[in-house]
A and B are shown apart, each in its own frame.
Chain A
């Protein structure tokens, strides 16, 4: 892929198919029903799950199933400039998109008229916050004991000039403007059926390259799933001793 473009080497020395160093931990907020943190490189996300609990206002209740409600937010200090706290267009969109991605695996039919609240916060941002948020949210939901058909893993794949790269950092995502610039494609993959739960595209890409992106994304999601499973399987034991 690298031969024709001008982006031949990544700043941090990673290969184009490499993800950043990932860490995951569950149970970081003991008072919540479920919680998790997930980080890739400098991007950190924390997710807290509360519920199922009765949904208010009552007119939002669904008598057939519980509903999932996700809120996403970047902390004021998460990147260089101060981010005004509170909902904004971008946060609302990412919250909704996360909600749709997770709705395809969680099964709340056993809890009608209730809501499961997922709070995603980004303490430190270095591109790929929505995928980090989704990874953390999936962990937190599992940790909360919510029935789920399978897990989800998320990764951002992009194109820098003519080069396809996995897990873009902030420079690659928003500060690279030479030649064709950069394109960012977040992908959410389910763990068992390997179905795509979310796919977004910001930029331009050809059909052939797009197919390549999906293959790269699926491979990277496999690595992320391993980190997520490790975090869940080794939970508890290292909390106290």
Chain B
């Protein structure tokens, strides 16, 4: 953290001044100054300046895991609504098994949910794939929606928070970067508990000492919370 500096910036605000700095995402150059182009946290790393959004809608990035719903079937793929500006496109070729083009609804039908990986982000849409382990159609369980900005808190530092929820409830928890979380467990009671915890994190994402609070909540539910507490991530990104 020697050369890293963070501060909240407002559009039009000068972050740093100097020709040696390089504006990245959410920043632009105006003469000698590097200026914020969005509202968020400015991160100056070495000579690279970027602004990380802290609120607002979800903008997909390559490599993100997202959870969405099938809203349309075209002749060569599916359109998925994931709560972003545009729909994502899942081509037949990016599906892990052979699908007859005349019977595409047999594999994925309207209203069914999927976990997919963002393959490419273009200005007019997003291409996704489910050809890897952990991706595919969602059957059973429940999907909880939280804001996409709360996702880092749900995952926790190095996945500590999500691991704690998994261990305590015995449910499988998959977090989509778009703010949708899929919970799948052996019985519904445990799923509901996991959902309560996740909603709690979503509502208290800005509070300090969140890990301890969640731990207390898990104990209150009569579950056991035994995780080595990794240092609380106060610098939320």
Contact = CB atoms under 8 A, between A and B. Distances in A.
Interface of A: 26-27, 33-34, 51-54, 63, 66, 105, 107, 110-114, 142-151, 190-192, 228-229, 232-233, 235-237, 239-241
Contacts of B124: 63, 112-113
B87 A150 contact: no
B207 A54 contact: no
A144 B207 CA distance: 21
Contact of B206 (A52, A66, A190, A236): A236
A35 to B, nearest CB: 10
B12 A149 contact: yes
A190 B207 CA distance: 34
B118 to A, nearest CB: 16
B11 A148 contact: yes
B74 interface: no
A52 B12 CA distance: 21
A192 B12 contact: yes
A34 to B, nearest CB: 6
Interface string B22-38: 00001010100001011
Contacts of B87: 54
B8 A145 contact: no
Given A110-B123, A148-B12, A151-B11, A52 B55 contact: no
B64 interface: no
Contacts of A51: 57, 85
A232 B39 contact: yes
B37 A147 contact: yes
Given A151-B11, A237-B206, A146 B56 contact: yes
B138 interface: no
A114 B85 CA distance: 7
Given A145-B57, A237-B206, 14 more contacts: A34-B56, A66-B85, A110-B123, A112-B124, A113-B86, A144-B56, A145-B53, A146-B38, A147-B26, A191-B10, A229-B13, A232-B10, A240-B207, A241-B207
A26 B54 CA distance: 12
Interface of B: 8, 10-13, 26, 28, 30, 35, 37-40, 53-57, 59, 85-87, 123-124, 203-204, 206-207
A149 B206 contact: no
A229 B10 contact: yes
A63 B125 CA distance: 12
Contacts of A143: 39, 55-56
B56 A191 contact: no
Most B CB atoms within 10 A — which of A232, A235, A241? A232
Nearest to A49: B56
Nearest to A148: B11
A144 B147 CA distance: 12
A112 B87 CA distance: 13
B55 A27 contact: yes
A148 B37 contact: yes
Given A145-B53, A145-B56, A240 B37 contact: no
A142 B11 contact: yes
A112 B203 CA distance: 32
B38 A192 contact: no
Most A CB atoms within 10 A — which of B40, B59, B85, B204? B85
B81 to A, nearest CB: 9
A239 B206 contact: yes
A54 B86 CA distance: 6
Contacts of A190: 12
Contact of B54 (A113, A228, A236): A236
A63 to B, nearest CB: 8
Contacts of A235: 55
Contact of A52 (B11, B30, B85, B207): B85
